[in-house]
């Protein structure tokens, strides 16, 4: 599992943030190149002599006058080993984070959409709430994060591990980016790793980064040499050696932000989104319109859909902000049939062009581009395109023809002009009553969608 270089891709992020979060070139569990179904690692005892208590000694108690927020709830659920507070590897990572006061300001803007849901799911399973901070380490809580090893989503699953945990991936949908599905998969994986290492969460988190086989071999090697086999004494890949300390460093800062000069943005301990069941394809821009939210908001809540149109095989969940969920459900139920969009799929064949496919289905090239999130007209043999039928308002508006005048320049030909504007040569001829020869300065009329 990897922290993607694209995870914090906002233009105002500087190089320090990339260094802060870590190297991007290591493969992990969800980021590991080995098959997930490796032989179980040897059973080892936890580094602590006794199981962690519900109130770790290292956690600062909540002040009476402190407002109840999502951060305080997370702090209340911290359960990992308190003895690591003085570990130099944790100190080093904490200094990195604490020296960058804007880190939480930047990442919390994304995390606010998803963090409450992750905390709820961890609470249901009685898992340590430090694990809610893992997506900060992995992706900066950016669902569009994508690493050089092809890991994707806030939990950074690589394709093979995603498949093992039933995260469907095809041309239209990537379950690794699905907020709820990927969270379920990540917690399933972490629970499996915890069981594999006899409840030692530090070993489980390390294995989440480099794979259970990687950690299991390191444990076995130390046991064979008569050395301690806890996380702090294992020889692991460099990224994994820093991975657990990063998580614990974040936990320590969140546990006592004032001590480290950090201001945590206010995050309310309330759900951000509701899950609405949708039974047919839906234009995501239409969904945003029905909910009175921005196109960016609908995309960040539903990043698993690769195209502007959600086209699942059956009923699926669309995430809508809680405040707009009732409005959206009501508006969707009343949406006229004429504004609904149905789709078929077309596989590009040899010799096809986008304009030919559009004309064959009584669409404009612009409509076909919009439905498939295309900027140009390049298509490939075998590529599957969405072909809309019964277009929605947004798609229909793209089909209204508008006249455009083009002045012929030296070197122009009917072929070059037709190609530039994605129209047929015979259309150019029909619109302008011309045959073949053009002269510089001549005015041509184009009927563009």
Phi-psi region of 22 (alpha: psi -120 to 50; beta: other; left: phi over 0): left
Strands (E), 253-336: 273-278, 282-283, 309-310, 316-321
Q: Which of 66, 130, 138, 289 is catalytic?
A: 138
Place of tokens 């071999």: 217
Strand-pairing partners, residue 278, are 316
Residue 127's SS3 state is coil
Catalytic site includes residue 138: yes
- Of 405, 399, 403, nearest to 449 by C-alpha is 399
Q: What single string gives the DSSP state of each residue in 332-373?
A: HHT--GGG--EEEEEE--TT--HHHHHHHTT--HHHHHHHTT
Per-state percent for the chain, helix, strand, coil, to nearest 5 = 45, 10, 45
Contacts of 363 (CB under 8 A, 6+ apart): 387, 388, 399
Q: How far is CA 312 from CA 103, 158, 262, 279, 307, in A?
A: 36, 22, 43, 9, 11
Catalytically active residues are 138
């Amino acid at each position: 599992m990897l922290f993607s270089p694209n995870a914090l891709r906002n233009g105002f992020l500087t190089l320090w943030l990339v260094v802060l979060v870590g190297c991007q070139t290591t493969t992990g569990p969800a980021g590991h190149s080995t098959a997930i179904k490796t032989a179980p690692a040897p059973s080892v005892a936890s580094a602590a002599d006794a199981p962690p208590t519900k109130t770790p000694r290292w956690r600062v108690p909540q002040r009476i006058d402190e407002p109840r927020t999502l951060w305080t709830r997370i702090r209340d659920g911290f359960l990992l080993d308190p003895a690591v507070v003085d570990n130099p590897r944790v100190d080093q990572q904490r200094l990195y984070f604490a020296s960058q006061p804007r880190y939480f300001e930047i990442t919390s803007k994304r995390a606010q959409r998803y963090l409450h849901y992750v905390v709820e799911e961890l609470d249901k399973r009685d898992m340590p709430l430090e694990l809610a901070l893992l997506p900060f380490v992995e992706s900066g809580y950016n669902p569009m994060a994508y690493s050089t090893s092809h890991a994707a989503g806030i939990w950074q699953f690589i394709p093979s591990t995603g498949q093992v945990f039933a995260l469907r991936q095809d041309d239209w949908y990537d379950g690794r980016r699905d907020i709820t599905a990927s969270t379920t998969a990540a917690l399933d994986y972490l629970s499996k790793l915890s069981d594999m290492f006899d409840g030692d969460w530090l070993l489980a988190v390390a294995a989440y980064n480099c794979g259970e086989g990687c950690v299991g071999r390191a444990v076995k090697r130390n046991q064979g040499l008569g050395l301690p086999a806890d996380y702090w004494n294992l020889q692991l890949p460099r990224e994994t050696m820093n991975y657990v300390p990063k998580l614990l460093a974040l936990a320590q800062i969140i546990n006592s932000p004032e001590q480290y000069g950090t201001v945590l943005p206010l995050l309310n301990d309330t759900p951000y989104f509701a899950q609405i069941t949708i039974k047919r394809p839906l234009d995501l821009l239409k969904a945003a319109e029905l909910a009175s939210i921005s196109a960016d908001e609908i995309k960040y809540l539903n990043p698993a859909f690769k195209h502007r149109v959600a086209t699942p095989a059956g009923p699926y969940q669309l995430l809508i902000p809680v405040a707009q969920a009732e409005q959206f459900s009501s508006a969707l139920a009343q949406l006229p049939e004429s504004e609904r969009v149905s789709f078929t799929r077309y596989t590009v064949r040899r010799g096809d062009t986008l304009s030919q496919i559009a004309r064959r289905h009584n669409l404009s090239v612009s409509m076909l581009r919009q439905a498939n999130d295309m900027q140009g007209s390049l298509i490939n043999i075998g590529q599957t395109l969405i072909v809309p039928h019964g277009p929605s308002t947004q798609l229909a508006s793209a089909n209204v023809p508008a006249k455009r005048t083009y002045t012929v320049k030296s070197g122009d030909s009917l072929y070059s002009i037709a190609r530039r504007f994605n129209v047929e040569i015979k259309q150019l001829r029909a619109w302008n009553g011309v045959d073949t020869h053009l002269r510089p300065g001549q005015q041509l009329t184009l009927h563009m969608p």
